[in-house]
Amino acid sequence: MKNPPATGQSISRIEGPLKVTGAAKYSGEYNVPGLLYGYVVNSTITKGKIIKIYTEEIKALPGVIDVFSHENRPSTAWFDMKYADMDAPPGSPFRPLHDAEIRYNGQPIALIVAETFELARYAASIISVDYEKEIFDTDLRSHFGDGREPETGMASLLKPPPPEPTGYFETAYAAAKYKASGEFYHGTEHHNPMELFTTTTLYEGKGKLSIYDKTQGTVNCQLYVANVFGLRFKDVKVISPFVGGAFGSGLRPQYQLFLSVMAALELKRHVRVTLDRSQMFTFGHRPPTLQRTRFAADADGMVTALNHTAFAETSRFEDYTEVVVNWSPKLYPAAHTLLDYKLVPLDVFSPMDMRAPGGSTGMHAIESTLDELAYQLKMDPLDLRLKNYTMIDITVNLPYSSKELKECYLKGAEKFGWANRAPEPRSMKRGHKLVGYGMATGIWDAMQAPARAEAAMTRDGKLHVKSAVTDIGTGTFTVMTQIAADELGLPVADVIFSYGDSKLPFAPIQGGSMTTSTVGTAIRAAGKALRKKLLRVAKRMKDSPLGKAELEEVIFQNGYIILKDNPQAAVSFADIINDGHHGLPLKTTNTGVPNMAKLNKYSRAAHSAVFVEVEVDEELGVINVTRALTAVAAGKIINPKTSRSQILGSMVWGISKALREETILDNQLGKYMNQNLGEYHIPVHADIHDLDVMFIEENDEHINELGIKGLGEIGLVGVAPAITNAIFHATGKRLNQLPVHFDMLL
Amino acid sequence: MNSELDLKPAAVFTSKTRQITLNINGISRGLEVLPYVTLLDALREYLDLTGTKKGCDHGQCGACTVICDDKRILSCLSLAVAKDGAEITTIEGVSTGNDLHPLQQAFIDHDAFQCGYCTPGQICSAIGMLSEGKAKTRADVKELMSGNLCRCGANMSIIDAIMEVKDGGGHE
Task: Provide the CATH number for the domain formed by A449-593 in this structure.
Answer: 3.30.365.10
pLDDT in tens, A553-596: 999 999 999 999 999 999 999 999 999 999 999 999 999 999 99
Q: For A259-301, write each residue's pLDDT tens digit.
A: 999 999 999 999 999 999 999 999 999 999 999 999 999 999 9
- Answer yes or no: do B32 and B56 share one domain: yes
Mean pLDDT, range A232-249, rounded to an integer? 97
pLDDT, residue A644, reads 98
In a domain, B57, yes or no: yes
Residue type, A235: D
A597 vs B: CB within 8 A: no
In three-state form (DSSP H/G/I as H, E/B as E, the rest C), the secondary structure along A607-623 is EEEEEEEEEEECCCCEE
Q: With the C-alpha atoms ordered A78, A81, A84, A89, is the resulting torsion angle positive or negative? A: positive
| B130 and B77 within one domain | no
| pLDDT over 90 (residue A743) | no
* Residues of chain B with C-beta less than 8 angstroms from the C-beta of A247: 151
Residue of A nearest to B63 (CA): A194
CA distances from B83 to A317, B41, B64, B89, B118 (A): 49, 13, 15, 12, 23
Pick from A372, A361, A222, A255: nearest CA to A303: A372
Q: Is residue B8 part of a domain?
A: no
Q: How far is the C-alpha of A48 from the C-alpha of A132, rounded, in Å?
A: 5
Indicate if the pLDDT at residue B11 is higher than 60. no
d(CA A506, CA A520): 13
Question: How many angstroms from the chain centroid is the CA of residue A581?
Answer: 43
A-to-B residue pairs, Cβ atoms closer than 8 angstroms: 214
The phi, psi pair for A376, rounded to 5°, reads: -60, -40
Contact across the interface for B2 and A61, Cβ inside 8 Å: no
Angle at A210 between CA A209 and CA A211, to 5 degrees: 105
| pLDDT class of B9 with cuts at 50, 70, 90 | very low
**What does the pLDDT look like over A182-215, one tens digit per residue?**
999 999 999 999 999 999 999 999 889 999 999 9
**A694 and A411 in contact (C-beta within 8 Å)?**
yes
CATH of range A142-189+285-447+600-745; options 3.40.50.10800, 3.30.365.10, 3.40.50.300, 3.20.20.140: 3.30.365.10
The reply to whether residue A682 touches residue B149, judged by beta carbons under 8 angstroms, is yes
B11 belongs to a structural domain: no
Taking alpha carbons only, the member of A188, A134, A168 closest to residue A674 is A188
Torsions phi, psi of A682, nearest 5? -125, 160
CA nearest A678 in B: which residue?
Answer: B60
Local structure of residue A499 (DSSP, 8 states):
-
Q: By CB neighbour count within 10 A (0-12 exposed, 13-18 middle, 19+ buried), where does A139 fall?
A: middle
- Please check whether residue B5 touches A, CB under 8 A: yes
Characterize A62-82 residue by residue with b for buried, 16 or more Cβ atoms within 10 angstroms of its Cβ, and e for exposed. eebbbbbbbeebeebeeeeeb
* Residue A570, C-beta contacts closer than 8 angstroms, at least 6 positions apart: A545, A560, A561, A562, A563
- For all residues of chain B together, what is the average pLDDT? 91
Decide: helix, strand or coil at residue A658. helix
Average pLDDT over residues A402-420: 98
CATH of the domain at B48: 3.10.20.30
| CATH number of the domain enclosing B158 | 1.10.150.120
User: Is B150 within 8 Å of A194 when comparing Cβ atoms?
Assistant: yes
Residue range(s) defining the domain that contains residue B159? 102-168
For chain A, helix, strand, coil in percent to 5 are: 30, 25, 45
Tell me what percent of the residues of chain A surpass a pLDDT of 90. 95
CA angle A638, A642, A643 (to 5 degrees): 60
Residues B51 and B85 placed together within one structural domain of the fold:
yes
Domain ranges of chain A: 36-135+195-276, 142-189+285-447+600-745, 449-593
> Nearest C-alpha of chain A: how many angstroms from B170?
17
For residue B92, which residues of chain A lie inside 8 Å, CB to CB?
21-23
Model pLDDT for residues A316-367, shown as the tens digit of each residue: 999 999 999 999 999 999 999 999 999 999 999 999 999 999 999 999 999 9
Match domain A36-135+195-276 to its CATH number in 2.40.110.10, 2.30.42.10, 3.90.1170.50, 3.90.550.10.
3.90.1170.50
